[in-house]
Structure 1
Amino acid sequence: MVLKGQFLERPALIPVGREVMEGVAHRGEARPPLLVLPPTPAEGGGMDHVIAAELAFAAATAGHPTLRFNYRGIAGSQGERGAGEALVEESGAALAVVLENAQAPTAAVAALHGSARVALGLRERHPGVAGLCLVSPREVSPRELTGLGRELLVVVGELDTTLSRAELARAVDAAGGTLEVVEGAGAHLHHALPLVGKIVRAWLKRLSGT
């Protein structure tokens, strides 16, 4: 039994080809649902990454359905670890599950670190992506963000110098999106996780139009 105020995610199975990836999902009535892409296998990432868990918690406690998962070859997910197009395929399979579970036409996608590249590929291929949130993005250039629109949110730590801050700000502004710089934080945002969750929760509210 789930008591008032408790947060309980349920196991989810995500078919991709002949294999199955593992995930955890949370129900909710608010829209859009949120799909969380963990850091890539090359980065050693998984659905239990602290930022992934924080985003799922923040979204779910605001009433949004959520799904976070492990790419193939990570933890209990079957198959071999992939990269590039393989990760886009896997995230597309996860997107299909979150849309089906929520009975929603579109979902928001939050991508951590190197999965920013995966999220861009997912958006190109799937009309079901309502908006992108890139947290401490890697493997992308700021100019690739220019056409993403006002549904774009980029969250970076003040001390994260991976991408040129000035170039990133210009690109996000040109897209009409939002750049949030977390004061005093590095790439992993460890001391500011509740703030990152609050930022993403506000972004989801904007996407919902409420």
Structure 2
Amino acid sequence: MPEVIFNGPAGRIEGRYHHSRKSNSPIALVLHPHPQFGGTMNNPVTYTLFQGFVNRGFSVLRFNFRGVGRSQGAFDSGIGELSDAASALDWLQAQNADASQCWIAGFSFGAWIAMQVLMRRPEIEGFISVAPPANMYDFTFLAPCPSSGLIVNGSADQVAPAADVQKLVDRLKTQKGIVIEHSTIDGANHFFDQHLEPLAAVSGAYLDKRLAAYAARD
């Protein structure tokens, strides 16, 4: 899949992009985990999410946050990374002006950034949030959460414990007008070691359901 370089707020951003050959294809942006703990766009969970969108006909972009890989700049505690994600979405939309839908997905730190992008971009129709670190980062900005989506976590996650993710899910589920689905993968740790296939199955089934509902609406 083609490497792409585009301009971000801190300089060049390195990404991998799959372009669907079908016109009006939906688009998706996938965000990787914490840059200071080895997170890159090639993280296995990030790649699994990326491929799930590719397999369903999306044009999809994943990229390295500033200071990771060949992306210029330095880690900025989430503030700059949010700007990076916004620039990446701008680039993706410019490549796909006729896109039928816009989605965002993220893993861990990337899930936190993805949900902030969601709050700022009303065109985003759906999200997949994997292992959101609700114990480490403040998610109260989701008031209200503007789009329906899926939250997935592992029952054996010691980085973003299941109990904290459940509290986030419970709070979001009280909001009217959106539907938050939640799936806990039994035995999975934070990085879904030996559990990438169940993660792909759960997120893929959710995407299939949402895409079918969208097709029926047309």
Confirm or deny a common fold (TM above 0.5). yes
* 2:36 matches 1:42: yes
- Residue 24 of structure 1 corresponds to which residue in structure 2? 16
1:134 to 110, 119, 129: 129
TM-score normalised by L of structure 2: 0.82
What do residues 12-69 of structure 1 show as CA deviations (whole Å, max 9, x unaligned)?
Answer: 1121136110000112237431110001223321101001111111211221111100
Aligned-residue sequence identity (percent) comes to 23
2:85 to 84, 91, 103: 91
The structure-2 alpha-carbon separation of the partners of 1:169 and 1:151, relative to structure 1 and needing over 3 Å to count, comes to closer
2:180 to 172, 177, 180: 177
SS at match of 1:180: strand
Deviation at residue 88 of structure 1 after TM alignment = 0.7
The structure-2 alpha-carbon separation of the partners of 1:170 and 1:144, relative to structure 1 and needing over 3 Å to count, comes to farther
Deviation at residue 196 of structure 1 after TM alignment = 1.4
Q: CA RMSD in A?
A: 2.3
TM-score normalised by L of structure 1: 0.84
Matches within 5 A, 1:110-121: 110-121=105-116
Deviation at residue 134 of structure 1 after TM alignment = 1.1
Q: Distance in 1 between matches of 2:86 and 2:194?
A: 31
Residue type matched to 1:167 in 2?
K
Structure 1, unaligned stretches of length 5 or more? 1-8
Deviation at residue 143 of structure 1 after TM alignment = 5.6
- Residue 154 of structure 1 corresponds to which residue in structure 2? 151
- Residue 3 of structure 1 corresponds to which residue in structure 2? none
> After alignment, is 70-79 or 55-64 more displaced?
55-64
1:57 to 37, 51, 54: 51
Deviation at residue 106 of structure 1 after TM alignment = 4.6
- Residue 200 of structure 2 corresponds to which residue in structure 1? 197
Residue type matched to 1:20 in 2?
R
- Residue 79 of structure 1 corresponds to which residue in structure 2? 73
Q: Distance in 2 between matches of 1:98 and 1:81?
A: 22
SS at match of 2:15: strand
The structure-2 alpha-carbon separation of the partners of 1:42 and 1:198, relative to structure 1 and needing over 3 Å to count, comes to same
Structure 2, unaligned stretches of length 5 or more? none
